[in-house]
Amino acid sequence: MSISTLAAATDLPPIPAADIEYSLIAPLLIVVGAAIVGVLVEAFWPRSSRFAAQAVLACGAIVAALADTVWVYTDLDRVEASLTARGQVAAEGALSIDGPGVFGWGILLVFGLLSMLLFAERRLEGGLSAFTGRAADAPGSPAEADAVQRRLEHSEIFPLALFALVGMMLFATANDLLTMFVALEVLSLPLYILCGLARRRRLLSQEAALKYFLLGAFSSVFFLYGIALAYGYSGSFELSAIDTAVTNRTDSETLLLASIALMAVGLLFKIGAAPFHTWTPDVYQGAPTPVTAFMAAGTKAAAFLALLRVFYVGFGGAQWDWRPTIVAIAIVTMFLGAVVSISQTDVKRMLAYSSIAHAGFLLVGFVGVYAGVAGSDRVTSVSSILFYLAVYGLSSIGAFAIVTLVRDSGGETTHLSKWAGLGRTSPLLAGSFAVFMLSFAGIPLTGGFIGKWGVFSAAYSGGFWWLVVIGVLISALAAYFYVRVIVLMFFTDPVGDGPTVAVPSPLTTVVIVVAVVGTVALGIIPGPVLDLAQHAGAFVR
Amino acid sequence: MFDLQWLLIAIPLASGALLLIWGKESDRFGHLIGTAASAASFVLGVVLFAALLGHDAEDRSHAVSLFTWIDTGTFHVEMSFVYDQLSALFVLLITGVGTLIHVYSIGYMEHDERRRRFFAFLNLFIAAMLTLVLAGDYLVLFLGWEGVGLASYLLIGFWQHKPSAAAAAKKAFVVNRVGDIGMALAIMLMFAQFGTSAIAAVNAAAPGATDAVTTSLGLLLLLGACGKSAQVPLQSWLLDAMEGPTPVSALIHAATMVTAGVYLVVRSNAIFDASEVARTAVIVVGLVTLLAGAWIGCAKDDIKKALAGSTMSQIGYMMLAAGLGPAGYPFAIFHLITHGFFKANMFLGAGSVMHGMDDDVDMRHYGGLRKAMPVTFATFALGYLAIIGFPGFSGFWSKDKIIETAFGENLWVGLGALLGAGVTAFYMTRLMMMTFFGDARWKDDVHPHESPKVMTVPLVALGALSLLGGVLLVGDWIVEWLEPVTGHAEHHELAVPAIVLTLIITLVAATGVALGFLTYGRRPVAAETPADGSVSFLARAGRHELYGNELNEAVVVRPTRHLTRFLVWFDGKGIDGFVTGLADRLGDTSQLLRKPQTGYVRSYALTMFAGVAIVVLCLLAVTLA
pLDDT, average across residues A276-283: 94
Is the CB of A339 less than 8 angstroms away from the CB of B591? no
Q: Which of B101-105, B446-450, B542-546 has the highest mean pLDDT?
A: B101-105
- CA B586-B589-B590 angle, to 5 degrees, is 85
- How many CB atoms lie under 10 A from the CB of residue A531? 13
- With a CB cutoff of 8 Å and minimum separation 6, the contacts of A142 are none
Closest Cβ–Cβ partner in B599, B601, B611 for A275:
B611
Contacts B601 to A, Cβ<8 Å: 210-211, 214-215
Given a cut of 60, whether residue A80 has pLDDT beyond it is no
| Total CB pairs under 8 A between chain A and B | 87
pLDDT, average across residues B211-215: 92
pLDDT, average across residues B261-276: 93
Q: What are phi and psi of B438, to 5 degrees?
A: 75, -165
The rounded distance, in Å, linking the Cα atoms of A66 and B102 is 75
Question: What rounded mean pLDDT belongs to chain B?
Answer: 90
- Counting other chains too, the contacts that B402-405 makes at CB distance below 8 Å and 24 or more residues apart are B402/B317, B402/B318, B402/B320, B402/B321, B402/B328, B402/B331, B402/B332, B402/B335, B403/B501, B403/B505, B404/B494, B404/B498, B404/B501, B404/B502, B405/B321, B405/B324, B405/B327, B405/B328, B405/B331, B405/B492
- CA A72-A169-A284 angle, to 5 degrees, is 140
- With a CB cutoff of 8 Å and minimum separation 6, the contacts of B95 are B8, B38, B39, B41, B42, B45, B126, B130
Band the pLDDT of A4: cuts 50, 70, 90.
low
pLDDT, average across residues A203-211: 94
More confident residue, B522 or B184: B184
Q: Which of A398-402, B64-68, B215-219 has the lowest mean pLDDT?
A: B64-68
User: B400-432 burial string, b = 16+ CB within 10 Å, else e?
Assistant: bbbbbbbbbbeeebbebbbbbbbbbbbbbbbbb
Closest Cβ–Cβ partner in A210, A275, A480 for B610:
A275
Contacts A222 to B, Cβ<8 Å: 612
Nearest CA in chain B to A480: B583
The rounded distance, in Å, linking the Cα atoms of A52 and A505 is 14
- CA A71-A75-A80 angle, to 5 degrees, is 120
Task: Tell me the three state secondary structure of residue B461.
Answer: helix
The rounded distance, in Å, linking the Cα atoms of B548 and B342 is 27
Quick one: pLDDT at residue A3?
Answer: 55
> Closest approach of chain B CAs to the CA of A201, in angstroms?
16
CB A118 within 8 A of CB A511: yes
Contacts B597 to A, Cβ<8 Å: 278, 281-282, 340
Quick one: pLDDT at residue A378?
Answer: 84
Distances in whole angstroms, Cα of residue A91 to Cα of each of A102, A284, A314: 15, 35, 18
Quick one: pLDDT at residue A339?
Answer: 92
* DSSP E strand boundaries for A334-428: 406-408, 411-412
Given a cut of 50, whether residue B212 has pLDDT beyond it is yes
Given a cut of 90, whether residue B585 has pLDDT beyond it is no
CB B429 within 8 A of CB B520: yes
Contacts B604 to A, Cβ<8 Å: 211, 215, 278-279
Question: Any CB–CB contact under 8 A between A250 and chain B?
Answer: no
More confident residue, A117 or A83: A117
Kindly report, residue by residue over A239-255, the tens digit of the pLDDT. 999 999 999 887 788 89
Given a cut of 60, whether residue A5 has pLDDT beyond it is no
Q: How many residues are present in chain A?
A: 541
Given a cut of 70, whether residue A78 has pLDDT beyond it is no
Distances in whole angstroms, Cα of residue B83 to Cα of each of A342, B9, B63, B86: 66, 12, 6, 8
Exposure on the CB side of residue A200, measured as CA atoms within 13 A: 17
Residue from A221, A224, A339 to probe the interface with B (highest B Cβ count within 10 Å):
A339
Kindly report, residue by residue over B396-435, the tens digit of the pLDDT. 999 999 999 998 888 899 999 999 999 999 999 999 999 9
The rounded distance, in Å, linking the Cα atoms of B536 and B524 is 18
Closest Cβ–Cβ partner in A265, A325, A341 for B622:
A325
Residue from A219, A260, A269, A342 to probe the interface with B (highest B Cβ count within 10 Å):
A342
Contacts B612 to A, Cβ<8 Å: 222, 261-262, 265
Quick one: pLDDT at residue A500?
Answer: 82
Distances in whole angstroms, Cα of residue A493 to Cα of each of A346, A348, A414, A490, A501: 18, 22, 17, 8, 16
CB B247 within 8 A of CB B109: yes
Is the CB of B594 less than 8 angstroms away from the CB of A343? yes
Q: What is the pTM of this model?
A: 0.65
Is the CB of B601 less than 8 angstroms away from the CB of A211? yes
* DSSP E strand boundaries for A211-345: none
Q: Helices (DSSP H) in B389-410: which residue ranges?
A: 394-409
- The gap from C-alpha A234 to its chain's centroid, in whole angstroms, comes to 30
Side chain identity at residue A235, one-letter code: G
Kindly report, residue by residue over B448-503, the tens digit of the pLDDT. 888 888 899 999 999 999 999 888 888 888 888 888 888 887 766 777 788 888 99
- The gap from C-alpha A334 to its chain's centroid, in whole angstroms, comes to 18
- With a CB cutoff of 8 Å and minimum separation 6, the contacts of A173 are A95, A96, A97, A98, A101, A102, A104, A105, A305
Q: Is the peptide bond before A275 cis (omega within 30 degrees of 0)?
A: yes
Radius of gyration of chain A from Cα atoms?
23
Q: Which of B113, B139, B154, B134 minimizes the C-alpha distance to B45?
A: B134
Is the CB of B605 less than 8 angstroms away from the CB of A215? yes
Distances in whole angstroms, Cα of residue A524 to Cα of each of A446, A449, B262: 7, 10, 51
Kindly report, residue by residue over A324-366, the tens digit of the pLDDT. 999 999 999 999 999 999 889 999 999 999 999 999 999 999 9
The rounded distance, in Å, linking the Cα atoms of A111 and A514 is 11
pLDDT, average across residues A140-163: 91
Given a cut of 50, whether residue B75 has pLDDT beyond it is yes
Contacting B residues, span 583-622, partner chain A, CB-CB under 8 Å: 583, 586-587, 589-591, 593-594, 596-597, 599, 601, 604-605, 607-608, 610-612, 614-616, 618-620, 622
Q: Which of B530, B549, B535, B531 minimizes the C-alpha distance to B239?
A: B549
> Closest approach of chain A CAs to the CA of B574, in angstroms?
20
Q: What are phi and psi of B113, to 5 degrees?
A: -75, -15
Quick one: pLDDT at residue A250?
Answer: 75
Q: Helices (DSSP H) in B110-257: which residue ranges?
A: 115-134, 138-156, 163-194, 199-205, 211-229, 236-240, 246-250
Contacts A328 to B, Cβ<8 Å: 618
Band the pLDDT of A81: cuts 50, 70, 90.
low
CB A231 within 8 A of CB A237: yes
CB B256 within 8 A of CB B354: no
Q: DSSP character for A81?
A: S
B524 exposure class (CB count in 10 Å sphere: 0-12, 13-18, 19+): exposed
CB A338 within 8 A of CB A478: yes
Q: The dihedral of CA A445, A451, A457, A463: what is its sign?
A: negative
Band the pLDDT of A9: cuts 50, 70, 90.
low
Band the pLDDT of A2: cuts 50, 70, 90.
low
- CA A494-A495-A501 angle, to 5 degrees, is 60
Question: What rounded mean pLDDT belongs to chain A?
Answer: 91
Quick one: pLDDT at residue B408?
Answer: 86
Quick one: pLDDT at residue A1?
Answer: 46
Q: Residues of chain A with pLDDT > 90: what percent?
A: 67
Given a cut of 80, whether residue B331 has pLDDT beyond it is yes
Question: Any CB–CB contact under 8 A between A219 and chain B?
Answer: yes
A227 exposure class (CB count in 10 Å sphere: 0-12, 13-18, 19+): buried
pLDDT, average across residues A415-430: 89
Q: DSSP character for B599?
A: S
Closest Cβ–Cβ partner in A214, A278, A344 for B607:
A278
Nearest CA in chain A to B595: A340
Q: The dihedral of CA B430, B432, B435, B439: what is its sign?
A: negative
Is the CB of B597 less than 8 angstroms away from the CB of A340? yes
Quick one: pLDDT at residue B573?
Answer: 85
Band the pLDDT of A397: cuts 50, 70, 90.
very high
Kindly report, residue by residue over B160-177, the tens digit of the pLDDT. 888 999 999 999 999 999
CB B120 within 8 A of CB B16: yes
Kindly report, residue by residue over A109-143, the tens digit of the pLDDT. 999 999 999 999 999 888 889 999 888 888 889 99
- How many CB atoms lie under 10 A from the CB of residue B65? 15
pLDDT, average across residues B52-72: 86
Q: DSSP character for B51?
A: H
Q: Which of B458, B372, B380 minimizes the C-alpha distance to B106?
A: B458
